[in-house]
Structure 1
Amino acid sequence: MYKLENKTILILSPEGWGAMFLSKHHYAVELAKAGNTVYFLNPPSVLAGSKKIQIRNSGVHENLFFIEHQLAFPFRLRFHAISLFHFFMRGHIRKILRSMPAPVDIVWSFDLLHLYPLDFFDKSSIKVFHPVDEPLQPAALKAAAGADIIFSVTNEILNKYKFCNLPSFFVHHGVSPLFFRENGMVVKNDPVKVGLSGNLLRKDIDRNILLTIIQQNPQIVFECWGSYEVKQSNIGGDTELSGIAFIDTLKSMPNVILHGTAKTEKLAMELHRMDAFLICYDVNKDQSRGTNYHKIMEYMATGKVIISNNVTTFKDYPDYVQMIPERNNNDQLPVLFNKVIRNLETYNDISLQKKRIAFARTNMYDKHISTIANHIGSISKAKS
């Protein structure tokens, strides 16, 4: 049986390492814990220069290393002359691979920007393409070229890569073991506490609906974890006046607490204090198109009820996520929110909490890695 152990794995990510963890960050940690030597390629510096490629220990795990690199050519070529950008990038990738102490067994790409074409890596390496967001740009579809196998968190995304004629598999969003507690279930708080996590600078948050819910429920405390200033974020955000105004409004509301970014360990502990969780994205703007969200598994690990805009992956699982049926607007989300909060004891019944926690446990990263390893094993045999 093929196992993801004692392998050299290079992870390609369009988002750098920072306080906020997405799927690629969690996979890097869990693969390192499994005994692999993992190299996380941070995004390149946008300033042209001759700075050497640097590899350093992450400080997160002894098997996890960061690769820092600065391009010797202008990053803006990506927007104005993509063929020339990739011509230079081919040589840059060769330099990165030569700087690594061992050949790469697996190139694991979360790169929807198509910064690092998989064709540019050694043919002997297994190339995994793992899109976790909707491929909204042509570059995102091209990014699968050169892959040996595709995994994704929604069937909608997988369907968009059918043209590649590659082995493709649905693997749910994962959850770190840090999000589980032996005594995770708690009695109702007074006042009720509702949690939200993620980048508050995202343009796809349904700001009007979220503010409406908060304003209609002054007796509830809304606690938010995630960046609300650009300097806090390693995953970007909206710096336009509308985004700044939204954050200023949240800051002014007496029943809102903005905690800012938090390390995974801290976030996991804090979520367990909540009575319920709220997800409020505009599906029409959402980078996931309302198909699946990484945070759902983290919330579910607490056992508490989740109230959300429509999420297609969970449409047949009402015990897991309470969602509105509409796809085009969230007008009914405040109504659903009030209904759930009025009946919180029912929605947070111990049997339902246990059911949610059990489902989340089946989606821990170590289990996903075992599943992925089985599929990669068939690719490995074909290459050998």
Structure 2
Amino acid sequence: MDWNQDFEFQNASKTADLCLASSANIVKKQKKYNRNSHNIGHGYNNVVNKVKPFKLKGNSIINYGYAGNLDIQYIDWELLEKLIMFFPTVDFHFAGQWKSKANFPNIYKNQNFYYYGKLPANDLPSFYESMDLLMIVYQYEKFPEQLANPHKMMEYLGSGKMIVSSWTEEYSKLSAKGLIKMIQSKKEFISELDEVQNNLEYWNKNDLRNSRIDFANQNTYNKLINKIEKLLKNGG
């Protein structure tokens, strides 16, 4: 699942009847030891309870959201701080585990930044529904292989909301279709985000929203299980 997994990788791959991975980069690494290796990506949990209204802090007209583990090393906090300062009329909403928040005091100085703590899984759909746009701001240039397929992307797509993200290789085709705005260079992030902000009605229109949801529903856990069963049955 993780590019940097190195515990008995060679032996595990060689002795397996079937190798599965979440990105093409990992499959390429596996195939050095086992030709029966396949990229199945991440699954989507489409079993969601009825979405309840989520009470947002702040009072801006436009709301950007991020939900996930805020302690991971891949988040580009320097860029996020610049975005929060550059867009003072936008509220930035963050949810998730954040034991290291004391290391980022400048983030809290911004009146348009709000932190909700770790939310129950059942509250995430309503959190996403309250947003105009969902964000992933990772250090792609530093960790390209590790960030080729963040798990949260499938959750974001399932919400139907527009996504602005640092580059994630596994979803490049969706970026070309306008379902995600992916940015390879942090230097371009502010201008690209500004373009999306000024055209939110277009990026969140029904056909794009439905296409995101459809893509997620094509990758439900049940469908991935069926795919794996076929690989096992057919010997890969």
2:141 maps to 1:264: no
1:297 aligns with: 154
1:43 aligns with: none
Structure 1 residue 249, shift from structure 2 partner: 2.7
Structure 1 residue 285, shift from structure 2 partner: 4.0
From 203, 220, 234, give the equivalent of 1:364: 220
1:223 aligns with: 93
Whether the 8 Å contact between 1:145 and 1:164 is mirrored in structure 2 is yes
2:20 aligns with: 151
Equivalents in 2 of 1:159, 1:330: separation in Å?
Answer: 27
Secondary structure at 1:164 match in 2? coil
Secondary structure at 1:332 match in 2? helix
Structure 1 residue 245, shift from structure 2 partner: 2.2
2:190 maps to 1:334: yes
Unaligned runs of 5+ in 2: 53-58
Structure 1 residue 141, shift from structure 2 partner: 4.5
Structure 1 residue 180, shift from structure 2 partner: 8.2
Whether the 8 Å contact between 2:65 and 2:94 is mirrored in structure 1 is yes
Whether the 8 Å contact between 1:194 and 1:223 is mirrored in structure 2 is yes
* Distance of aligned partners of 1:277 and 1:197 in 2 relative to their CA distance in 1, 3 Å threshold: same
* Distance of aligned partners of 1:140 and 1:223 in 2 relative to their CA distance in 1, 3 Å threshold: farther
Per-residue CA deviation, residues 131-175 of structure 1 (Å, 9 max, x unaligned), is x22136465455434322111121111001112224112212111
Whether the 8 Å contact between 2:51 and 2:125 is mirrored in structure 1 is no
| Percent identity over paired residues | 26
Per-residue CA deviation, residues 10-40 of structure 1 (Å, 9 max, x unaligned), is xxxxxxxxxxxxxxxxxxxxxxxxxxxxxxx
Structure 1 residue 258, shift from structure 2 partner: 1.1
More helix by share: 2
1:96 aligns with: none
1:81 aligns with: none
2:84 maps to 1:214: yes
State how many pairs are aligned: 229
Equivalents in 2 of 1:215, 1:361: separation in Å?
Answer: 36
Whether the 8 Å contact between 1:178 and 1:268 is mirrored in structure 2 is no
2:180 aligns with: 321
TM-score computed with the length of structure 1 as normaliser: 0.55
Code of the aligned partner of 1:360: A
Structure 1 residue 212, shift from structure 2 partner: 0.6
Q: CA RMSD in A?
A: 2.6
TM-score computed with the length of structure 2 as normaliser: 0.87
Structure 1 residue 357, shift from structure 2 partner: 0.7
Equivalents in 2 of 1:211, 1:139: separation in Å?
Answer: 39
Per-residue CA deviation, residues 251-292 of structure 1 (Å, 9 max, x unaligned), is 332211111212211112221111111111112444853311
From 173, 192, 198, give the equivalent of 2:42: 173
Equivalents in 1 of 2:110, 2:98: separation in Å?
Answer: 15
Structure 1 residue 353, shift from structure 2 partner: 0.4
1:68 aligns with: none
Q: Which has the larger radius of gyration?
A: 1
1:17 aligns with: none
Equivalents in 2 of 1:199, 1:307: separation in Å?
Answer: 18
Higher relative contact order (CA 8 A, sep 6+): 2
Equivalents in 2 of 1:294, 1:158: separation in Å?
Answer: 17
2:55 aligns with: none
Whether the 8 Å contact between 1:290 and 1:309 is mirrored in structure 2 is no
Equivalents in 2 of 1:160, 1:335: separation in Å?
Answer: 36
Per-residue CA deviation, residues 29-61 of structure 1 (Å, 9 max, x unaligned), is xxxxxxxxxxxxxxxxxxxxxxxxxxxxxxxxx
1:1-384 equivalent positions in 2, closer than 5 A: 132-135=1-4, 137=6, 139-178=8-47, 191-229=61-99, 244-246=102-104, 248-286=105-143, 288-318=145-175, 319-324=178-183, 326=184, 329-379=185-235
Equivalents in 1 of 2:17, 2:228: separation in Å?
Answer: 13
Whether the 8 Å contact between 1:179 and 1:302 is mirrored in structure 2 is no
Code of the aligned partner of 1:297: M
